[in-house]
């Protein structure tokens, strides 16, 4: 069966990007603000500028890191039913993350997010088959800022059985996250064998590896936690206003991060990860739903394949500030190209307003968009038994295939049927978009009321929160399923 595929770059263009990246790393270099990372890089042959953060990476250093990086990354799930070994030939989808606002399901208004919102979003995402792993979707703004990330990790673990991917803002926070995950896995050795946690650590564009995030990446790498150094180049801001140049900067930031990870822990599991896109020159905002983001991500998948690394890209993202037509167009426009390119992981479902707002209604709608996109990517088989020539000849002109037993037995397998999108024609006084959104709201409420993922044992929850320095849970704690 031939599945449709998108190729943005020719082979010669991949080679041009690779050569330009290597020249940028070896001649221009990157600023590495972690003294530990500079020491590690010096140990594998990098050139460290005396008294400065500038590090230059010769081809041999890059080649050695790429040689050491594993070709497959294992993302374990708590229930073992949602384990992912990537790449596996399919695109898998993650929730969006770090929103500071929520689209309230009841009032339809934006407001600051809380632990309760994070628990609700996580639980609904756990119920959706289209979601394969989870980022903590919103900030727990009702706790002190010093424990935001640790609280978000605990609440997410408590409300999903799927793999969890988060970010640490310091090496000490990374060590605490590793210890928290180990309380669920059993111990550090079991966590290394079945990593139920992975991390996204972002370079600062252009070409800066910040101290705390880089040291956190080293902690994760040494613990066997998969790391995705997620580049977020702003085209026209942190790169020249040309997509080829932005791809070179993105590639350089990722490869430099991978060099650090492999110097710290040879064979550390890593992703080639990108969420680069343009600045909207009218507003100065990041255009998360732009066609340029989709093109850069699709080209990024090809670069990752060139290096034989698994990929994480942004997709199903939007700039629309509320659910509606713009959100749907942008989400399909950024998600489908990533799938057609063959991305292993795509992060973005549930998000609005350039990832700053999350919503249950949008999360449910995005699951429908993901299903729609997957059906496009699946393609269809062409074999003699699929052509049904004997039936075509038997019924001939004016044949009615609707009454055939084969149609009844197979239409669900062949034809995608939407759950929320409308095909029932015009309804006076009830525009289709309103009916679609109401169905999504109803479904989100159903899941909130009736779906409960397999809970963590109370004693494990106590240890999880104690390890994170968080308040102990009670037996009636409403934040856990």
- Quickly state the pLDDT bin for 123 (edges 50, 70, 90): very high
pLDDT at res. 430 = 86
- What is the percent of the chain with per-residue pLDDT over 70, rounded to a whole number? 98
Domains, the chain: 68-378 (3.20.20.480), 384-414 (no CATH)
153 contacts: CB under 8 Å, gap ≥ 6? 136, 164, 166, 177, 180, 197, 468
pTM (two decimals): 0.95
Cβ atoms 410, 386 nearer than 8 A: no
CA distance 141 to 21: 39
pLDDT at res. 303 = 98
Average pLDDT over residues 437-444: 95
pLDDT at res. 480 = 61
pLDDT greater than 90 at residue 298: yes
Mean pLDDT over the full length of the chain:
95
pLDDT greater than 90 at residue 429: no
Average pLDDT over residues 458-466: 97
Q: How far is CA 95 from CA 98, 161, 363, in A?
A: 10, 14, 8
pLDDT at res. 432 = 87
Average pLDDT over residues 7-29: 98
Give residue-wise pLDDT tens across range 338-379: 999 999 999 999 999 999 999 999 999 999 999 999 999 999
pLDDT greater than 60 at residue 478: no
pLDDT greater than 60 at residue 271: yes
pLDDT at res. 1 = 62
Locate 358 and state its tokens: 């999350």
Among 353, 358, 367, 354, which Cα is nearest to 440's? 367
pLDDT at res. 118 = 98
What letter does residue 93 receive in the DSSP assignment? E
- DSSP3 helix / strand / coil % (the chain, rounded to 5): 45, 15, 40
- Quickly state the pLDDT bin for 481 (edges 50, 70, 90): low
- Quickly state the pLDDT bin for 290 (edges 50, 70, 90): very high
């Amino acid at each position: 069966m031939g599945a449709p595929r998108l190729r943005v770059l020719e082979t010669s263009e991949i080679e041009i990007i690779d050569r330009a990246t290597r020249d940028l790393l070896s001649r221009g270099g990157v600023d590495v603000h972690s003294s530990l990372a500079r020491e590690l890089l010096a140990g594998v042959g990098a050139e460290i500028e005396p008294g400065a953060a500038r590090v230059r990476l010769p081809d041999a250093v890059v080649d050695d890191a790429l040689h050491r990086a594993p070709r497959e990354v294992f993302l374990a799930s708590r229930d073992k039913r949602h384990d992912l070994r990537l790449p596996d030939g399919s695109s898998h989808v993650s929730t969006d993350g770090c929103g500071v606002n929520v689209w309230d399901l009841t009032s339809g208004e934006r407001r600051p997010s809380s632990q309760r919102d994070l628990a609700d979003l996580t639980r609904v995402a756990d119920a959706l088959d289209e979601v394969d792993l989870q980022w903590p979707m919103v900030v727990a703004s009702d706790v002190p800022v010093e424990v935001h990330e640790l609280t978000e990790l605990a609440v997410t673990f408590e409300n999903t059985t799927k793999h969890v991917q988060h970010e640490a803002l310091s090496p000490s926070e990374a060590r605490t996250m590793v210890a928290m995950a180990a309380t669920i896995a059993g111990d550090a050795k079991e966590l290394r064998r079945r990593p139920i946690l992975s991390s996204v650590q972002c370079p600062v564009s252009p070409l800066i590896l910040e101290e705390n995030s880089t040291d956190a990446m080293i902690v994760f790498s040494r613990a066997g936690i998969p790391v995705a150094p997620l580049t977020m180049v702003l085209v026209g801001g942190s790169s020249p206003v040309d997509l080829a140049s932005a791809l070179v900067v993105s590639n350089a930031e990722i490869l430099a991060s991978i060099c650090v990870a492999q110097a710290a822990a040879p064979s550390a599991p890593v992703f080639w990860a990108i969420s680069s896109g343009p600045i909207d020159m009218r507003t100065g905002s990041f255009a998360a739903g732009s066609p340029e983001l989709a093109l850069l991500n699709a080209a990024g998948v090809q670069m990752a394949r060139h290096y034989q690394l698994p990929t994480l890209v942004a997709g199903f993202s939007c700039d629309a500030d509320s659910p509606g037509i713009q959100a749907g167009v942008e989400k399909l426009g950024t998600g489908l190209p990533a799938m057609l390119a063959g991305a292993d992981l795509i992060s973005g479902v549930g998000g609005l307003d350039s990832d700053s707002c999350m919503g249950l209604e949008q999360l449910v709608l995005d699951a429908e968009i993901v299903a729609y996109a997957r059906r496009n990517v699946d393609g269809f088989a062409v074999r003699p038994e699929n052509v049904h020539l004997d039936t075509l000849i038997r019924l001939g002109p004016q044949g009615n295939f609707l009454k055939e037993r084969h149609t009844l037995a197979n239409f669900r397998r062949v034809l995608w049927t939407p759950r929320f999108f409308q095909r029932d024609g015009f309804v006076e006084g009830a525009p289709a978009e309103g009916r679609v959104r109401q169905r999504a709201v109803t479904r989100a409420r159903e899941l909130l009321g009736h779906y409960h993922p397999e809970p963590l044992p109370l004693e494990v929850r106590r240890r999880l929160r104690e390890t994170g320095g968080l308040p102990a849970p009670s037996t009636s704690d409403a934040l856990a399923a």
